[in-house]
């Protein structure tokens, strides 16, 4: 071992080998050179991304800039957070070790846990947001995805994971209540619930937009249900526990379903049966969500989850390889006029704050705080591994977002806006869509209606006009990238539907699980109200489960239908609400983290969570303010509401994009609901932020306050911290193997027995 | 050959770990070590119980 004088071995029991390695060795010269080289490479890639213009910007530069920045951030910034805030103590037993029961509390290898955690945090969000944000050009999105992840998203995930690990794996809602009292706790609980509902609705809307009028998509995504049911039965009755075997079978069936979708869509009966109106698809998804939340988990949810995990990792790897091999040329400008003028067709609003709202997952996602508290803390072996799981997991998600952005900006700009402008602007026909996008003043030669139709034909779709929501655009870009080296034009339609399929799969898994989680939050809250409602607390009471499921599906289903039928084009009015909701959840999470850091007396380092918190509050409050008070109807919900109401009162029968009185009434109703939700979100988060500020002031005046951290329990196991073991860790691990060889009966990890 | 075999072993170890397939073995090892007198469930019984627990709290998936 190199310079052992800087390595401290910690023991909790003189009879046991060391349980922790405190390594204070400076970096070797070789390592310093490697990091310097990585930093230099990343700087060159950043310079190319930022200053080179035109066709010569290569998609691979983005990958190099991102990965280089991640390596440096992980090595230096995450390490700073570890030293100054987290201060991991590996001689302290984690919840997994202390309460080990072999089930939910079970120390898990750090590399396996990383995969587990990543599969739980990554979904369709980092794929959809960057695609929409591409309307502002490539530079703002790239900067925010990378810098936002490094300074905000990863910090949130890492520190929430730390908080929950020190509190027996408690949930975010509980931690807010414990650290900030009942008012903050109540606002937090209601906030989490409402935010969950809106997130489910908007994600379902993305699926509706991808599947409506697409018989191929409807057939192949629909087939995932019988495939999952088959897998469930197989796992229960034929070969219990053979999870990877059944997952491989499921993935093969899934690929068959995608291929078969093409055949079915080509037959007249298939096209007739599976070409569905958006409203029909929406009702089907609501019905599906309800069924999935009341059927037993083993039958539908668990097998879908296995498929989703397999597809997630596989597709992300495929996309990364595709971008690196195909090296697509960037078609989007660095910064588009929509970023400055705020009149973009995919979503309204200027760069600040709406870029930071649109790209939530991939840069800063509050939803991760729900994942980071709860499951992963009960599985971690050592506190020092939290950096890999929390910070590292989020870096990986940020990388996925960069891939999605590269895919979107390498699509021809005219086609990009053909797909992402709402039908009221494009007119829905190739000719009118071509006229519309040619009038936008985009770079590159103008497009013709025939070319738009040819693009749709190339991916086996009837039309690609106004397929908003991000998923079809990403699928289109992916089909071009993958088709360019795998199968050429003949497989492009397959890749398009492959991409649609996996996005729908992720989202439907989120909808299943989210509906269930929201249902339990609801029944728990009702049960806590006491009186006759106490019965709701019993999770085995089926009637209560059904009532709560109906309420939850009804809530998100209503918002979904509102988005589907919105005369203004659902995605551009609802997606900002989704982003705001997600970022407000992040504000709550960062607020509780800041409170704990201040309470613990680390005031000097409170800026680490406070800077992203203040930034996030600035973004979300500005966005909420504009959505509530902007006099510009395309931006402000209430301005739109008033404009339509006045028109209705004046007896007009059509107004703006609403063609008849019923459509006008729909706009009046929708904007009222959206505007009200905006106000509710903003008020709830302001309450949490103010309570957090008040607790922080109290803590600073008192020179620190007690937190609800659990008392220490000594650890009696050892595990390495990082992805790769150091030489010192290998030596200690060898001591443990020798010890276990000598005392096979002491092969214990738990301390509770 | 042994490199291939070790590689295959590593891949299956990782995949079964992430998907949760190896949780049964972990649970049995835990029981034998800490509660040697407790009855050991079969694979089928273990997964039934486990899915029943997930019915109550499936854990959120992110967007």
ipTM of the complex: 0.95
Please answer whether residues A17 and A735 qualify as being in contact, where contact means their C-beta atoms are separated by less than 8 angstroms. yes
| The pair of three-digit structure tokens given for residue A79, joined into one six-digit string | 């390490």
| The pair of three-digit structure tokens given for residue A127, joined into one six-digit string | 């794929």
Contact criterion met (CB < 8 Å) for B17 and A101: no
Please answer whether residues A210 and A216 qualify as being in contact, where contact means their C-beta atoms are separated by less than 8 angstroms. no
Q: What b/e string do you get for A630-643 counting C-beta neighbours within 10 Å, with b at 16 or more?
A: beebbbbbbbbbeb
Nearest chain A CA: its distance from B17 CA (Å): 6
pLDDT for position A752: 36
Give CA angle at A570 (A579, B61), nearest 5°.
Answer: 45
Determine contact: B44 vs chain A, CB below 8 A. yes
A538 to chain B: nearest residue by CA?
B56
To which residue do tokens 């059509």 refer? A654
- Name every chain A residue with its beta carbon within 8 A of the beta carbon of B21: 241-244
Among the partner residues B12, B19, B35, nearest to A309 by beta-carbon distance: B19
Mean pLDDT to the nearest integer, A716-738: 95
Mean pLDDT to the nearest integer, A100-127: 92
Sign of CA dihedral A179, A182, A183, A185: positive
For residue range A227-277, list pLDDT tens digits in order. Answer: 999 999 999 999 999 999 999 999 999 999 999 999 999 999 999 999 999
B16 to chain A: nearest residue by CA?
A244
Determine contact: B20 vs chain A, CB below 8 A. yes
Mean pLDDT to the nearest integer, A633-653: 92
- Band of the pLDDT at A461, cuts 50, 70, 90? very high
- Name every chain B residue with its beta carbon within 8 A of the beta carbon of A517: 57-60
List, in sequence order, every beta strand (DSSP E) within A16-153: 20-23
Other CB atoms within a 10 A radius of the CB of residue B59 amount to: 16
H/E stretch holding A351 reads helix A351-358
Determine contact: B61 vs chain A, CB below 8 A. yes
CA distance A358 to A340: 15
Mean pLDDT of chain A: 92
- Band of the pLDDT at A313, cuts 50, 70, 90? confident
To which residue do tokens 């600040």 refer? A352
Q: Is A569 left (phi over 0), alpha (psi -120 to 50) or beta?
A: left
- Band of the pLDDT at A751, cuts 50, 70, 90? very low
Range with the lowest mean pLDDT among A34-38, A162-166, A268-272, A531-535? Answer: A531-535
Higher-confidence residue of A102 and A683: namely A683
Beta partners for residue A7, in sequence order: A23
Distance of CA A378 to the CA centre of its chain: 21
pTM here is 0.95
Q: Is A463 left (phi over 0), alpha (psi -120 to 50) or beta?
A: beta
Nearest chain B CA: its distance from A366 CA (Å): 10
Contact criterion met (CB < 8 Å) for B14 and A371: no
Residues (pLDDT < 50) of chain B are none
- Name every chain B residue with its beta carbon within 8 A of the beta carbon of A116: 17-18
Range with the lowest mean pLDDT among A435-439, A505-509, A591-595? Answer: A505-509
Contact criterion met (CB < 8 Å) for B48 and A298: yes
Chains A–B, number of C-beta pairs less than 8 Å apart: 136
| The pair of three-digit structure tokens given for residue A218, joined into one six-digit string | 């409807």
Among the partner residues B21, B30, B61, nearest to A510 by beta-carbon distance: B61
For residue range A24-72, list pLDDT tens digits in order. Answer: 999 999 999 999 999 999 999 999 999 887 667 899 999 999 999 999 9
B45 to chain A: nearest residue by CA?
A240
Among the partner residues B17, B30, B62, nearest to A102 by beta-carbon distance: B30
Task: Please report, in angstroms and rounded to a whole number, the separation of the first and last CA atoms in chain B.
Answer: 42
Determine contact: B1 vs chain A, CB below 8 A. no
Instruction: Residue A613: name the closest of A151, A129, A76 by CA.
Output: A151
CA distance A83 to A104: 29
Q: Best interface-test mutation with A: which of B9, B31, B32, B63 has the largest number of A CBs within 10 A?
A: B63
| The pair of three-digit structure tokens given for residue A469, joined into one six-digit string | 């929501």
pLDDT at A659 over 90: no
pLDDT for position B33: 87
Contact criterion met (CB < 8 Å) for A513 and B59: yes
- Band of the pLDDT at A753, cuts 50, 70, 90? very low
pLDDT for position A734: 96
To which residue do tokens 């996030």 refer? A616
- Name every chain A residue with its beta carbon within 8 A of the beta carbon of B27: 102-103, 106
- Name every chain B residue with its beta carbon within 8 A of the beta carbon of A375: 59
B26 to chain A: nearest residue by CA?
A102
CA distance A598 to A179: 11
DSSP A111-149: HHHHHHHHHHH-SSHHHHHHHHHGGG-HHHHHHHHHHHI
Beta partners for residue A255, in sequence order: none
Beta partners for residue A92, in sequence order: A714
Instruction: Residue A574: name the closest of A588, A556, A589, A587 by CA.
Output: A556
Determine contact: B11 vs chain A, CB below 8 A. no
Determine contact: B32 vs chain A, CB below 8 A. no
Nearest chain A CA: its distance from B54 CA (Å): 7
CA distance A163 to A140: 32
What number of CA atoms fall less than 13 Å from residue B63's CA on the CB side?
Answer: 35
Q: Is A241 left (phi over 0), alpha (psi -120 to 50) or beta?
A: left
Q: Is A350 left (phi over 0), alpha (psi -120 to 50) or beta?
A: beta
pLDDT at A750 over 50: no
Please answer whether residues A481 and A163 qualify as being in contact, where contact means their C-beta atoms are separated by less than 8 angstroms. no
- Band of the pLDDT at A747, cuts 50, 70, 90? low
Could you tell me what percent of chain A has a pLDDT over 70?
A: 99
Determine contact: B58 vs chain A, CB below 8 A. yes
Higher-confidence residue of A406 and A517: namely A406
Instruction: Residue A226: name the closest of A124, A305, A294, A304 by CA.
Output: A304
Contacts of B20 (CB under 8 A, 6+ apart): A243
Contacts of A615 (CB under 8 A, 6+ apart): A152
Contact criterion met (CB < 8 Å) for A374 and B61: no
Contact criterion met (CB < 8 Å) for A102 and B26: yes
Range with the lowest mean pLDDT among A354-368, A602-616, A630-644, A733-747? Answer: A733-747
Instruction: Residue B18: name the closest of A308, A98, A319 by CA.
Output: A308
Contact criterion met (CB < 8 Å) for A305 and B21: no
Among the partner residues A106, A122, A520, nearest to B57 by beta-carbon distance: A520
CA distance A125 to A149: 14
Among the partner residues B16, B44, B61, nearest to A240 by beta-carbon distance: B44
What number of CA atoms fall less than 13 Å from residue A746's CA on the CB side?
Answer: 13
Q: Best interface-test mutation with A: which of B20, B48, B62 has the largest number of A CBs within 10 A?
A: B62
């Amino acid at each position: 071992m190199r310079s052992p004088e800087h390595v401290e071995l910690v023991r909790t029991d003189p009879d046991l080998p060391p349980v922790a390695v405190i390594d204070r060795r400076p970096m070797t010269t070789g390592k310093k050179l490697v990091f310097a080289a990585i930093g230099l490479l990343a700087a060159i890639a950043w310079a190319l991304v930022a200053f080179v213009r035109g066709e010569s910007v290569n998609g691979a530069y983005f990958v190099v800039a991102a990965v280089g920045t991640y390596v440096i951030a992980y090595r230096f910034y995450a390490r700073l957070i570890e030293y100054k805030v987290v201060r991991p103590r590996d001689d302290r037993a984690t919840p997994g070790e202390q309460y080990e029961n072999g089930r939910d509390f079970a120390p898990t290898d750090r590399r396996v846990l990383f995969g587990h955690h990543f599969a739980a945090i990554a979904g369709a969000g980092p794929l959809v947001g960057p695609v929409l944000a591409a309307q502002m050009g490539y530079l703002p999105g790239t900067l925010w995805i990378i810098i936002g992840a490094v300074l905000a998203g990863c910090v949130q995930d890492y520190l929430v994971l730390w908080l929950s690990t020190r509190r027996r794996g408690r949930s975010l809602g509980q931690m807010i209540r414990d650290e900030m009292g009942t008012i903050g706790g109540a606002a937090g609980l209601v906030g989490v619930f409402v935010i969950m509902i809106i997130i489910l609705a908007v994600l379902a809307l993305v699926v509706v937009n991808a599947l409506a009028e697409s018989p191929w998509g409807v057939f192949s995504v629909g087939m995932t249900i019988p495939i999952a049911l088959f897998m469930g039965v197989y796992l229960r009755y034929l070969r219990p526990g053979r999870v990877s075997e059944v997952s491989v079978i499921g993935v093969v069936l899934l690929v068959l379903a995608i291929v078969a979708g093409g055949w079915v869509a080509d037959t007249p009966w298939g096209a007739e049966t599976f070409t569905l109106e958006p409203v029909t698809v929406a009702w089907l998804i609501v019905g599906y969500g309800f069924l999935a939340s009341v059927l037993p988990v083993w039958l539908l949810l668990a097998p879908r989850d296995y498929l989703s995990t397999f597809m997630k990792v596989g597709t992300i790897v495929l996309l990364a390889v595709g971008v690196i091999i195909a090296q697509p040329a960037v078609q989007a400008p660095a910064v588009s006029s929509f970023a400055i003028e705020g009149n973009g067709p995919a979503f309204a609003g200027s760069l600040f704050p709406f870029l930071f709202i649109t790209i939530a997952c991939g840069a800063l996602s509050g939803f991760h705080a729900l994942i980071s508290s709860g499951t992963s803390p009960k599985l971690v072996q050592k506190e020092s591994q939290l950096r890999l799981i929390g910070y590292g997991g989020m870096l990986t998600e940020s990388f996925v977002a960069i891939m999605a952005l590269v895919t979107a900006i390498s699509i021809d700009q005219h086609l990009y806006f053909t797909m992402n402008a709402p039908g009221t602007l494009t007119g829905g026909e190739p000719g009118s869509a071509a006229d519309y996008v040619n009038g936008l003043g985009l770079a590159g030669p103008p497009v013709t209606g025939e070319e738009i139709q040819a693009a749709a034909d190339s991916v086996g779709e009837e039309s690609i006009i106004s397929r908003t929501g991000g998923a079809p655009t990403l699928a289109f870009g992916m089909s071009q990238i993958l088709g360019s080296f795998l199968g050429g034009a003949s497989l492009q339609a397959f890749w398009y539907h492959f991409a649609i399929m996996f996005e729908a799969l992720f989202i439907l898994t989120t909808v299943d699980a989210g509906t269930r989680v929201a249902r339990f939050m609801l029944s728990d809250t009702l049960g806590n109200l006491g009186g006759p409602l106490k019965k709701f607390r019993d999770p085995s009471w089926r009637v209560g489960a059904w009532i709560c499921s109906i309420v939850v599906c009804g809530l998100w289903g209503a918002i979904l239908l509102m988005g589907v039928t919105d005369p203004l084009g659902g995605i551009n009015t609802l997606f900002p609400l989704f982003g705001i909701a997600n970022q407000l959840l992040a504000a709550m999470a960062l607020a509780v983290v800041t409170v704990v850091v201040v309470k613990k007396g680390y005031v000097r380092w409170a800026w680490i969570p406070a800077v992203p918190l203040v930034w996030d509050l600035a973004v979300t409050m500005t966005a909420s303010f504009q959505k509530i008070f902007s006099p510009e109807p395309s931006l402000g919900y209430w301005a739109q509401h008033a404009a339509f109401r006045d028109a209705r009162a004046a007896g007009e029968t059509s107004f703006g994009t609403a063609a008849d009185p019923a459509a006008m009434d729909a706009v009046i109703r929708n904007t009222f609901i959206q505007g009200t939700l905006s106000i509710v979100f903003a008020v709830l988060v302001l309450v949490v932020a103010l309570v957090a500020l008040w607790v922080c002031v109290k803590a600073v005046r008192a020179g620190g306050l007690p937190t609800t951290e659990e008392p220490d329990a000594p650890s009696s196991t050892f595990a390495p911290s990082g992805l790769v073991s150091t030489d010192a860790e290998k030596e200690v691990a060898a001591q443990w193997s020798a010890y276990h060889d000598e005392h096979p009966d002491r092969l214990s990890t738990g301390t509770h027995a | 050959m042994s490199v291939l075999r070790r590689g295959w072993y590593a891949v299956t170890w990782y995949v079964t770990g992430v998907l949760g397939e190896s949780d049964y073995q972990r649970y049995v090892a835990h029981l034998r070590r800490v509660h040697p007198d407790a009855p050991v469930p079969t694979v089928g019984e273990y997964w039934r119980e486990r899915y029943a627990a997930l019915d109550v709290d499936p854990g959120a998936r992110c967007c």
